[in-house]
Amino acid sequence: MAIKVGVIGYGTIGKRVADAVKLQDDMELVGVTAHSYNYKMLVAVQKKIPIYSMNGKEEIEKNGVVCVGDVNDLIKQVDIIVDCTPKKIGKENKEKYYVPSKVKAIFQGGEKADIGEVSFTAQCNYDSAVGKDYIRVVSCNTTGLARTLNEVHKKYGIKEVQATMIRRGADPWDIYHGPINAIVPVLELPSHHGPDVRTVLDVEIFTTAISVSSTLMHLHTLIVDCEREPNVEETIKMFQDATRIRVVDNASKVRSTAEIMEFAKDLGRDRSDMPEIVVWKEAIGVHKNKLLYMQAVHQESDVVCENIDAIRAATGFTDGPKSIEMTNKTLCIDECKKFF
Ligand code: NAD
């Protein structure tokens, strides 16, 4: 029996999760919600995805898009909801809809950690999410940190991490946020990312963050104080061998976030996404017991595969590595990796 999934909040993350659900043999997309009329509804119609109104159907139907029901009709038919609404709305939806209807739900990283029984990154803590009713997939930045640090921790043991997030100012479609012409430090220490990593991976970590005038990915610089002395060649191989991490290099002219995004386009990825965390080979270095590296995170897509694995975990699929493999295959993750 396929797992019946509903997506509430059909925006940057929700539209990708909906498409990813459709690609899974063991899942069925029952429908998505429309909060207001916009071009995304037209795409859902074209993809034959049933639409359920979230906020009344008048405005949506006035524009020619038919709603097959409302959010309550969607919830009645599903085993699990993936809530991809803007931050804080997920908490409201949990109290208003999911708890009273006793439906399982996956939340996103914009929500506070206590919305879920567990926070989630498949490679770090899949097992602890099996059978849970409420799971929070951590944010794009936290997912990026957790994925690579998990590999470093397994190989060298982590004493402490210091990391800086250079964050994109807005998503590419977003005309409301910035900065347009400034570099803006987050005036909070540590930034929330460090404590958030600790919800999925037990390491000492201190983070700072800066927003910049770009829409193309986040960039992280990390200094990891290791228990055992790290080695550059070993680290390159470790990242290459790990799933959902991609090593790129100067020789192939992938030197910037712009070129990573172009690479994803040329790979023919759906929406030109790059769900793998991208580590630059030449930016991996060692100083005594410290491992230094830089990585780029495609904010719009790295959490999509995590949501798919979280659906499986919540509905009782116990084999984490198998779920990761199934998800990767459908989303072409890890394809065309280069081995030096
Ligand atoms: P978004 O603004 O692109 O999409 C949100 C969608 O929810 C929109 O379609 C909007 O119409 C709809 N919506 C708004 N209010 C609603 C309500 N009350 N009920 C139902 N639907 C409503 O947002 P997003 O970027 O997809 O972010 C969603 C969540 O994912 C947030 O928690 C965010 O922090 C997290 N997240 C975002 C990114 C990113 O880079 N965009 C990355 C990782 C995680």
How far is the C-alpha of 131 from the C-alpha of 119, rounded, in Å? 13
pLDDT for 268 equals 92
CA of 124 to the centre of ligand 1 (A): 24
Catalytic residue list contains 140: yes
Looking at residues 87-94, what average pLDDT do you find? 98
Q: Which of 108, 112, 147, 298 to mutate to test the pocket of ligand 1 (most atoms within 8 A of CB)?
A: 108
What separation in angstroms does the CA of 299 have from each of 19, 60, 186, 195?
17, 29, 18, 19
At CA 95, angle to CA 94 and CA 97, rounded to 5?
A: 65
Which residue CA neighbors atom 43 of ligand 1 most closely? 140
Reduce the DSSP state of residue 76 to 3 states and report it.
helix
For residue 40, give the ligand 1 atom closest to its CA: 9
Looking at residue 68, the DSSP 8-state letter turns out to be S
Predicted confidence (pLDDT) per residue in 274-326, tens digit = 999 999 999 999 999 999 999 999 999 999 999 999 999 999 999 999 999 99
pLDDT for 213 equals 98
Rg of the chain over CA atoms, in angstroms?
20
- Please, which residues have CB within 8 angstroms of residue 177's CB and are 6 or more apart in sequence? 169, 170
Looking at residues 21-35, what average pLDDT do you find? 98
Confidence of residue 339 (pLDDT cuts 50, 70, 90): low
Partner residues linked to 211 by β-bridges: 167, 184
Whether residue 95 is predicted with pLDDT greater than 90 in this model: the reply is yes
Bond prior to 179 in cis (omega within 30° of 0): yes
Active-site pick, 67, 140, 226, 305: 140
Supply the pTM of this predicted model: 0.98
CA of 40 to the centre of ligand 1 (A): 13
Reduce the DSSP state of residue 292 to 3 states and report it.
strand
Helices 140-156 and 232-241: crossing angle in degrees, nearest 10, is 120
b/e for 282-304, b at 16 or more Cβ within 10 A?
A: ebbebeeebbbbbbbbbbbbbbb
CA of 285 to the centre of ligand 1 (A): 37
Q: How many CB atoms lie within 10 A of CB 39?
A: 8
Confidence of residue 162 (pLDDT cuts 50, 70, 90): very high
Q: Which of 8, 17, 35, 297 to mutate to test the pocket of ligand 1 (most atoms within 8 A of CB)?
A: 35
